[in-house]
Amino acid sequence: MEKYEIYSLIIQGITLLAASIFAIWQIFINQRLKRLNDFVAIAIVPNSEGANIKLLNTGKINIYIHGKVPILNY
């Protein structure tokens, strides 16, 4: 083998290793994002009157939200 072929094999090996590490890292990130869907998520939507807001549970866990929040108009 010539010198450039050896260098090419080394570069290809490094590229393969980097791509494998990136793929494994991406799998861990995707699994974590799937688990995050199970946590609490709240959406805040203005009411049709405009003076109040609605708090909506958009997560998969049941939560109970109640009470009044004063709205400050500046």
Full-model pTM: 0.48
- Domain range for 37: 3-57
Which pLDDT band holds residue 40 (cuts at 50, 70, 90)?
confident
Decide if 16 is inside a domain.
Answer: yes
In a domain, 49, yes or no: yes
% of the chain beyond a pLDDT of 70: 78
Dihedral, CA of residue 45, residue 46, residue 48 and residue 52, to nearest 10: 120
Q: Is the pLDDT of residue 10 over 70?
A: yes
Q: What total of structural domains would you count in the chain?
A: 1
Residue 74: which pLDDT band, with cuts at 50, 70 and 90?
A: very low
Domain assignment present for residue 19? The answer is yes
In the block, which residue shows the tokens 């450039």? 4
